Amino acid sequence: MSPEFKIFNATELWQKETSLPSIPTFSQKLDYILGSDGIPLGSLTELLGLPGTGKTQMCLQLCAAVQIPKALGGLNAEALFIDTNTNFVLDRFKEILSACLLKCQKLLNLPINANNEEALKKLHYVNAFGLEKFCALMHQLPKLIEENNIRLIVIDSIAFPFKEGISAKQRTGLLFRQMAELQRLAVEKQIAVVLTNEMSTRLGLSSGTVVGSLGDAWAHRCNIRLLLSAPDDPCGDRLALLLKSNIAPEAVAPFKITKEGIRDVN
């Protein structure tokens, strides 16, 4: 056997996969249906949903959660937020981050430290507005990862750069090449990649159907697909439907968005 290849048995694979920590969503019910106590490393996770369902809020929560200390089973790492549609709001992230740090300090029985300056430095933000800038950033990703302790990459949203100036055929080829490289980086560097995606209307013979953007082929590209929805609930509760996963069956979990971030429904 060539030294370039290594054969694993199923036990070794299981031990390798189960030994990796995940990034918690701060909703135990949502972590449970994901099957790995949160968003797993080494995978591509897609968050689908209409505007206002909590996609960006979930991303901000994960960017805070990736900083959880190793003493609490966290990664004590950094995140890269790639903003393609001006969705990022710093004040909201600071609010979620402060609540996350406060919870960690209480669990570790440490003095409460209100200075979040060092924690803020662990989030790297890039605006990638437009296809050309987005593609240039994708080319620079390996270098960014090498220079920082990044264990989470967020792209919010993946569809927006491909809306104009490119045909469907060109879009599919370019997008899939980029995602293949992103998948390779995720597996080799053990990084969680979270992509948000929008919904579009597919016209049928009699009526339209709301589906995820980027087409049917894209629906099979990510390891995990999570559909977020905001039912007409006076309490503002939301639902997360696990549409696809290579480690867990289809399931649904309620969650809510509070001042402190993503939390369980009481």
pLDDT single digits (tens) 125-149: 999 998 889 999 999 999 999 999 9
Output the pLDDT for position 98. 93
> In what helix (H) or strand (E) does residue 219 lie, and over which residues does it extend?
none
pLDDT higher than 90, residue 262: yes
Residue with the larger pLDDT of the pair 215 and 190: 190
Write down the residue that tokens 């056997």 correspond to.
Answer: 1
Cα angle 200, 203, 205 (rounded to 5 degrees) comes to 160
Determine the average pLDDT of the residues in 209-231. 80
The SS3 assignment for 240 reads strand
Residues 6+ apart with CB under 8 A from 265: 29, 235, 237, 254, 255, 256
Please write down the HEC assignment for all residues of 124-147.
Answer: EEEECCCHHHHHHHHHHHHHHHHH
Indicate the burial class of 74 (C-beta count within 10 angstroms; 0-12, 13-18, 19 or more). buried
Q: What is the pLDDT of residue 260?
A: 95
2 has pLDDT over 70: no
Token reading at 237? 């509760």
Task: Assess whether pLDDT exceeds 50 at residue 212.
Answer: yes
Residue 152 CB partners (closer than 8 Å, separation 6+): 23, 39, 62, 63, 66, 77, 78, 79, 80, 191, 192, 193, 194
Please state, in angstroms and rounded to a whole number, the distance separating the CA atoms of residues 175 and 196.
14
Hey, what are 226's tokens? 């999570």
Q: Tell me the per-residue pLDDT of 73-115, one tens digit each, with 9 for 90 and over.
A: 899 999 999 999 888 999 999 999 999 999 998 888 877 665 6
The mean pLDDT of 201-219, rounded to a whole number, is 62
Closest Cα partner for 119 from 135, 101, 103?
101
* Mean pLDDT score of the chain: 87
**Which tens digits make up the pLDDT trace of 22-58?**
999 999 999 999 988 899 999 999 999 999 899 999 9
Q: What is the mean pLDDT of residues 213-223?
A: 78
pLDDT of residue 199: 81
- Identify whether 157 is preceded by a cis peptide bond (ω within 30 of 0): yes
To which CATH superfamily is domain 22-263 assigned?
P-loop containing nucleotide triphosphate hydrolases (3.40.50.300)
pLDDT at residue number 1: 53
Residue 116 vs residue 40, higher pLDDT: 40
Asked if residues 194 and 39 have their Cβ atoms less than 8 Å apart, the reply is: yes
**Residue 205: predicted pLDDT:** 46
pLDDT at residue 114, as a whole number: 57
Residues 6+ apart with CB under 8 A from 60: 88, 92, 93, 96, 261
Residue 123 pLDDT exceeds 90: yes
Backbone angles phi, psi at 46, to 5 degrees: -105, 130
For 255, the token pair is: 């969650």
pLDDT of residue 208: 46
Mean pLDDT lowest among 44-53, 146-155, 225-234: 225-234
- pLDDT mean over 237-250: 92
